[in-house]
Structure 1
Amino acid sequence: MSELPLKFDRQGLIPVVIQDDATNEVLMVAFMNDKALERTRESGYTHFYSRSRNTIWRKGEQSGHTQQVRGIFVNCEENSIVIRVIQQGEAACHEGYRSCYYRRLEDDNSYVTIAERIFDPQQVYTHAVGVKQEQAKDKEYISMETEQKLQDALRQLYGVYIYLRDHDLSEESNTSRLLQERSQSYLASRLGDELEELAEVQSGEHVHSGRQSDTVLEGSQVGYWLFLLAAGCSIPYPDFEPHQALLEGYHGRYNDSRVIELREECARMVASGQPEIISRGLTIGFMLIGWACAAAGVDPLAPAEFDLGQMRRKGLVQ
């Protein structure tokens, strides 16, 4: 495959116009980086890059109003994109309107609303509407700082699993034995079990010592099996970027039905046997860890830090 010819800006972003494939109506404008565009092309549904949250998000991940891609078009200067979509769910705008362009600018510089609001955003989105600007800035700063710490921790963890894959320590390490056996079906099955337990912690069906500590424990277990699958398939860290995926899930605030969909999608993809599809499944798995951390009020770093503590006790990391 040839190199992508698009011209991203200095921040690595490109503007994207979303257009209804049936009516030609412009629904919204957003930004993508190369990874968001890659996920859009792989999944067939639009993904964008949030400049405020510094993470990739899937359109409709909270509202369920997703956008199925029908075609991707590039302008003459290769610095912007139009994506024609089937809007699934009636509204593309987070304010509850079909299009983000629901107001007309009048001669006196006032706005006139020209469309009907389809849903009440306060009922659809679980986060509060109208967060103060300073609070939003604080959240953005924390997110960027956390992402770097999270990336460092997860890269260190993955490095250990790569080492245990490349060095046969089966007699002293069960993890190394699993990686030598390379039974992807077994690893995928165990991942499915842990994802179910992680969800049951949030619903109160699976209890050990309390929701927060159980979330850290089960989240670390989900991460363990995800990393073993990645190492067993020799998938490079940048191909699934678990730190970004985890934070995407942390900010996502999915409802119960969406969590079930993501679990099923993850299980199907990691069992596919195709590295590029497995990579996407790994991404979804880490998104679910992030979702659980947010739901339980747990620092998104906590599961990775728990695992690193285990590794230190075994002498695998300093």
Structure 2
Amino acid sequence: MTEFFNSFESVFLKLEWLNGFIEYLLCLLNIDTKSAFGSALNFFFYDVIKISIFLLVLIFTISYIQSYFPPHKTKDIISKFKGVKANILAALLGTVTPFCSCSSIPLFIGFTAAGVRTGVTFSFLISSPMVDLGSLVILSSVFGFKIAAIYVVSGIVIAVLGGMFIQRMNMDRYIEDFIKNAAFNSSEFAKPTQIDRLVYSKNQMLSTYKKTIVYIMAGVAIGAFIHNCIPENFVSDILGGSNPFSVILSTIVGIPMYADIFGTIPIAEALLAKGASLGTVLSFMMAVTTLSLPSMLMLKKAIKMPLLAMFVATCTIGIIISGYLFNAIELYLL
């Protein structure tokens, strides 16, 4: 069974055959794949093509699933649950919705207008960009299924606890009035046909890929540079286990950036290969996808500063704690 799983991971998740094929093509062009330049080219083309393949398939699949969960239906489902069960459900629903925080915020506004409790909507808002079905597959292709699964679970835990904490603090008054008073009429949502769902999934696939390919290529280019040009000792000294502040540093560095998880994975892959600690790398990914500056500016239009500050602080603390936990068990995962 273990041998079968390893073979499946090698062929279908890591796509190791693709890496060998690209290396073969580069050799045909008389490019030495053992040199820094050739290795960087191999890294770039392999990661861009691999992520693109997964991304196109996953966006189509997840968009099709998402077509069954418009805001009014999600509200109806969540309203049947109370307490922590509602937060867990919202976090799980966040895993089948958009891939970045900027596209999650309009749904968050829709849920708020629909009357979903504040803490529950924030569980969704945290979970949606941080973890999704796509991240599980892509992370499995780079770090292995075990690490990917723990990453997704930890993201859901942060989303659930963060939403519960925000609800406990009674922060409803800090949501902008135009959001709370927005009319929400579920009757305006017609039930789509199967053709509608397929067309919607295709459009979402093409639209999202066009938006993300730039970040993917930028992330892979940075990853290739780190992988082939940055000395290993430099990375390990700053982001390795010997630096007790590496998790905090990577989280703070990640917040001002803007990318989805697909653009950050190549950077994380390169940093890990150079000696960065696992928890440090994953904290960087969580910070970039959840707390990017552009998404916070967008969210500021919907909520007031005290609630925004609490959201950022709650996510940051959760990400840092998660990073240190990953570092503590790194030896058992790699």
Between structures 1 and 2, the one with greater helix share: 2
Normalising by the smaller structure, the TM-score range is 0.3 to 0.5
Indicate the structure whose relative CO is greater, using CA pairs within 8 Å and at least 6 residues apart: 2
Between structures 1 and 2, the one with greater strand share: 1
TM-score w.r.t. structure 2 length?
A: 0.33
